[in-house]
Amino acid sequence: MAANIQAPKGTRDILPKDSGAWQLVEDIMRDEASVHGFEEIRTPVFERTELFERSVGDTTDVVQKEMYTFLDKGNRSISLRPEGTAGVVRAVLEHALMNDGAPQKLYYLIPCYRYENTQEGRQREFHQFGCEAFGAAAPVADAALIALAHSIFERLGIRNLSLEINSIGCPKCRGEYHAALKAFLEASKGELCGTCLTRLEKNPMRILDCKTPSCGEITQNAPVMKDYLCSECAEHFTAVQEYLDAAEIAYTVNPRIVRGLDYYTRTVFEFISNDLGAQSTVCGGGRYDGLVKQMGGAQTPALGFAMGMERLLLVMQAQNITLPRPPVCELYIAPLGRQAQVKAFAFTNLLHQAGIKAECDLCDRSLKAQMKYADKIGAVFTMVLGDEELKQNCAELKHMQTGEKTSISLGEGFLTEFVAVATQTEDNAAMGLDGLTVDFEGFEIFEKED
């Protein structure tokens, strides 16, 4: 017999036991982005290879080593997106979104692809939540973006993240710095890795970001950009810090943060976790004032960040953060006999229409087996439907945790009676049954005021 096919290296199935946590995290991200005035953008999973070469930069690890590139049947070079910014910039230009006014604030939740050496927190298919803002040059925009990322971590209950910020200047001041850095590195040129040798000519600052230990040692005492900032960049960076202070967001200035992609200017930042091993950067971002123009658009200041979903979930796991998991089933109806099965199905359907998670037997199981199943899926209530119940037109609603039983009519009042019983139980909040409206706290305030 042929061997079973397994998922490709570096990919992971997200199984039902975990997808609930993913959804909760995603919901918080979407909600927080929307609170901050960001709207979702969805772009293709693949783009023309050129897009990434021109935007991410052809001296980066991402483009040089990690891209999934292939020729399609029309002989075009296509790449799976290694990150989200390039596609967003392309879409902003292609649809002239800046004509709608500045700033344009966009977010995305996407799978990305990089041909990496796989490790914990480093996969070939991984997921990013990212935010990008276009048309905002003021330092308050940098702080606002950092504040958005920060508030997501707060809402997720993640602790011990350090925010490290730096400024990598603008093309004007970077020239002098590059010259100084090059002069410094020239002495140890022979010991640099192959990639860094190319970087030395094209973008020497990126050598500070090299993961090869020997390169790390060489750059230990290298000059840093912070000391070469022009007055505009220095003022901008000081102002970013003032805004962060005003919002009481703690940070440290780390002059060695340069970010892995070529397009950054001025502010760059990372949120780093102490609970992850080598893959400790949970979120990275910064300003990229030159990218839109470089891609053929008008000069447009812009900035963004991306956080890795897998790493975020690993930190949450390491910190034992559990998100409230709503029950999979609120009412399990166990029918006995054909007539009861039809009735159970009709009731289940009615409950579904009211947005209640209900299930009935789909496997022709015995009552005992059905109860075992209801227990396994964690049904909050169960209700047995047999001949006697049908004859009496009423049944018993059993709360599985407490064992408490309540009689319930099988007539027209069924739904109302079920909701009345269910909302009295302790799990009503978890069941999202508060008044059967919306389980979002903010809305309760409005309802109370009415």
DSSP-assigned states of every residue in 365-383:
--HHHHHHHHHHTT-SEEE
Tell which one of 224, 306, 316, 333 touches ligand ATP (CB under 6 A): 306
Alpha helices by DSSP H, listed for 134-208, are 139-156, 171-186, 194-202
Joined together, the tokens standing for residue 369 give 């087996």
Between 281 and 370, name the residue whose CB sits nearer to ligand ATP: 281
Tell which one of 55, 219, 241, 281 touches ligand ATP (CB under 6 A): 281
Between 123 and 370, name the residue whose CB sits nearer to ligand ATP: 123
In 281-340, which ranges are E strands?
A: 281-287, 302-308, 331-335
What is the smallest separation between the CB atom of 395 and ligand ATP, expressed in angstroms?
Answer: 50
Interface with ligand ATP, residue 341, by CB under 6 A = no
Beta-bridge partners for 110 = 128
Interface with ligand ATP, residue 260, by CB under 6 A = yes
How many residues of this chain interact with ligand ATP, rule: CB under 6 A? 19
Tell which one of 47, 53, 83, 389 touches ligand ATP (CB under 6 A): 83
* Residue 275, amino acid: D
Between 128 and 406, name the residue whose CB sits nearer to ligand ATP: 128
CA separation for the pair 226, 228 (Å, rounded) = 6
**φ, ψ (nearest 5 deg) of residue 57:** 110, 135
Interface with ligand ATP, residue 107, by CB under 6 A = no
What is the smallest separation between the CB atom of 258 and ligand ATP, expressed in angstroms?
Answer: 10
DSSP-assigned states of every residue in 81-131:
-SSSHHHHHHHHHHTTGGGG-S-EEEEEEEEEE-----BTTB-SEEEEEEE
What is the smallest separation between the CB atom of 64 and ligand ATP, expressed in angstroms?
Answer: 12
Choices 166-174, 232-240, 282-290, 294-302; region in contact with ligand ATP by CB under 6 A: 282-290
Buried b (16+ CB within 10 A) or exposed e, 184-215: ebeeeeeebbebbeebbeebbbbbbbbeeeeb
**Nearest CA-CA partner of 147 in 135, 133, 134:** 133
Tell which one of 81, 90, 105, 114 touches ligand ATP (CB under 6 A): 114
What is the smallest separation between the CB atom of 307 and ligand ATP, expressed in angstroms?
Answer: 6
What is the smallest separation between the CB atom of 202 and ligand ATP, expressed in angstroms?
Answer: 18
Interface with ligand ATP, residue 108, by CB under 6 A = no
Between 111 and 327, name the residue whose CB sits nearer to ligand ATP: 111
What is the smallest separation between the CB atom of 54 and ligand ATP, expressed in angstroms?
Answer: 16
Between 282 and 374, name the residue whose CB sits nearer to ligand ATP: 282
* Residue 430, amino acid: A
Between 57 and 290, name the residue whose CB sits nearer to ligand ATP: 57
**Helix, strand, coil percent values for the chain (each to nearest 5):** 45, 20, 35
End-to-end CA distance of the chain: 68
CA separation for the pair 134, 300 (Å, rounded) = 7
Of 169-208, binders to ligand ATP (CB under 6 A) are none
What is the smallest separation between the CB atom of 128 and ligand ATP, expressed in angstroms?
Answer: 5
Tell which one of 311, 343, 357, 399 touches ligand ATP (CB under 6 A): 311
What is the smallest separation between the CB atom of 204 and ligand ATP, expressed in angstroms?
Answer: 18
* Residue 238, amino acid: T
SS3 233: helix
Of 121-160, binders to ligand ATP (CB under 6 A) are 121-123, 126, 128
Q: Which residue is nearest to ligand ATP (CB)?
A: 308
Interface with ligand ATP, residue 276, by CB under 6 A = no
Q: Are 380 and 402 in contact (CB under 8 A)?
A: no
Footprint of ligand ATP (CB under 6 A): 83, 114, 116, 121-123, 126, 128, 260, 279, 281-284, 306-308, 310-311
